[in-house]
Amino acid sequence: MKILVTGGAGFIGSHTAIELISKGHTPVIADNFSNSEKWILGRLEEISQQEIIFYEGDCSDGNFLAEVFSREKNIAGAIHFAAKKAVGESMEKPLIYYKNNLLSLIVLLETMQEFGVKNLVFSSSATVYGEPGSCPIPETAPRQKAASPYGNTKVICEDIISDSVFGGKNISAISLRYFNPIGAHPSGLIGELPIGIPNNLVPYVTQAAAGIREKLTVFGNDYPTPDGSGVRDFIHVVDLAQAHIKTLEYLEKQNTPFYDVFNVGTGQGNSVLEIIQTFEKVNGVEVPYEIGPRRPGDIATCFADPQKIEKTLGWKTEKTLEESLIDAWKWQNYLT
Ligand code: UD1
């Protein structure tokens, strides 16, 4: 299948492009490079040993998307990654987040309808569960107003998609609610490229280990968790990428307009301190850190119940936390 991958030069998008190719599909990347680098495309060619089709442009521009769909005949579906994703920035610039994330989805849906493209996989987040009542979190857990405009765009986008499907516009879609994607391609050639000071834990850990940051601050050790630090469900980005291919193949089999949501996580919770200790052990390198206060908006524990995606799509994580942290370090060393 020829698949449009919006945001295909980004962290999860680039890994998904590789997995699409390895399963015999053809990704068509559309990216405005606002939070990614063009040289990633060369890396994709190096890994896949084939030419990558890509278009530079903004997905909230209908003319741009129409051009992509008309030049690339027979696009069978789209995976929509292109979105702004920095939680803190979204608090400062909410309108930019709502405008960008909502508009690009709406324009994509309109253009898909115009060109008769049926299948959509949407990049959602566990952030839609807000502060969960208990863990593991099943898809039936209520969604809550998120703690940030970024999180709310995911809630609203899910609704826009389900309304479009049930509005009978011949779209089928699945929202994948990611837990905490980490790691990098085992080749070390592609990975996450945080701009400036990383917000997320693992990029900060790798930069602290590399000496780029003086030390990591552990945000709180007084949570009601086994060691007091926050607990999350860390999933290897290659496992996550593979979930998208299974999802598309499943959508392709549906005959009538169809919408569903799946958690994509390991089902296992690991604490911040465990991440530091495991990283040090598997990579033989020290991570300088200190304990600091809690970060506003953080919750104590968040991990997935992944049974639905396992049973329905036959997908589950194959890579371990150790592999994730080895690959993250390999990528950091490639960068520095
Ligand atoms: C965050 C976002 C979430 C987004 C996800 C993308 C918030 C509140 N949530 O999730 O909406 O979908 O990233 O991956 O920002 N930590 C430290 N020190 C650091 C960085 C993080 O101790 O320097 C801790 C955090 O307190 C948390 C854990 O590490 O307990 C994971 O943090 P992070 O990687 O930022 O992910 P989330 O906050 O879970």
Q: Report which ligand 1 atom has the smallest distance to the Cα of 295.
A: 26
Give me the pLDDT at residue 297, please. Answer: 86
User: Going by CA atoms, what residue is nearest to atom 29 of ligand 1?
Assistant: 201
User: What tokens does 163 get?
Assistant: 């309304």
Give me the pLDDT at residue 255, please. Answer: 86
Give the distance (Å) from ligand 1 centre to CA of residue 107.
Answer: 30
- Determine the Cα–Cα distance for residues 64 and 82; give it in Å rounded to an integer: 14
Give the distance (Å) from ligand 1 centre to CA of residue 200.
Answer: 5
User: What tokens does 267 get?
Assistant: 């089902």
Q: Which of 180, 214, 221 to mutate to test the pocket of ligand 1 (most atoms within 8 A of CB)?
A: 180
Give me the pLDDT at residue 316, please. Answer: 94
Q: Report which ligand 1 atom has the smallest distance to the Cα of 181.
A: 14
Instruction: Report the relative pairing of strands 216-219 and 2-6 from DSSP bridges.
Output: unpaired
Beta bridge mates, 54: 29
Give me the pLDDT at residue 146, please. Answer: 84
- Determine the Cα–Cα distance for residues 314 and 331; give it in Å rounded to an integer: 29
Give me the pLDDT at residue 318, please. Answer: 97
- Determine the Cα–Cα distance for residues 124 and 161; give it in Å rounded to an integer: 11
- The catalytic residues are 150
Q: Report which ligand 1 atom has the smallest distance to the Cα of 292.
A: 22
* Ligand 1 pocket member 216 (CB < 6 A): yes
Q: Which of 154, 273, 298, 302 to mutate to test the pocket of ligand 1 (most atoms within 8 A of CB)?
A: 298
Is the entire prediction scored with pTM above 0.85? yes
- For the chain, the first-to-last Cα distance in angstroms comes to 37
User: Going by CA atoms, what residue is nearest to atom 4 of ligand 1?
Assistant: 127
Give me the pLDDT at residue 124, please. Answer: 98
228-257 as b/e: b if 16+ CB within 10 A: bbbbbbbbbbbbbbbbbbbbbebbeeeeeb
**pLDDT tens-place string over residues 245-267:** 999 999 999 988 999 999 999 99
| Low-confidence stretches of the chain (pLDDT beneath 70) | none
Spatial neighbors of 230 by CB under 8 A, at least 6 apart, are 219, 220, 223, 271, 272, 298, 299, 300, 301
Residue 281 CB-density burial (10 A; 0-12 exposed, 13-18 middle, 19+ buried): exposed
Instruction: Report the relative pairing of strands 26-31 and 53-56 from DSSP bridges.
Output: parallel
**pLDDT tens-place string over residues 162-204:** 999 988 778 999 999 999 999 999 999 999 998 889 999 999 9
Give the distance (Å) from ligand 1 centre to CA of residue 194.
Answer: 13
* Ligand 1 pocket member 201 (CB < 6 A): yes
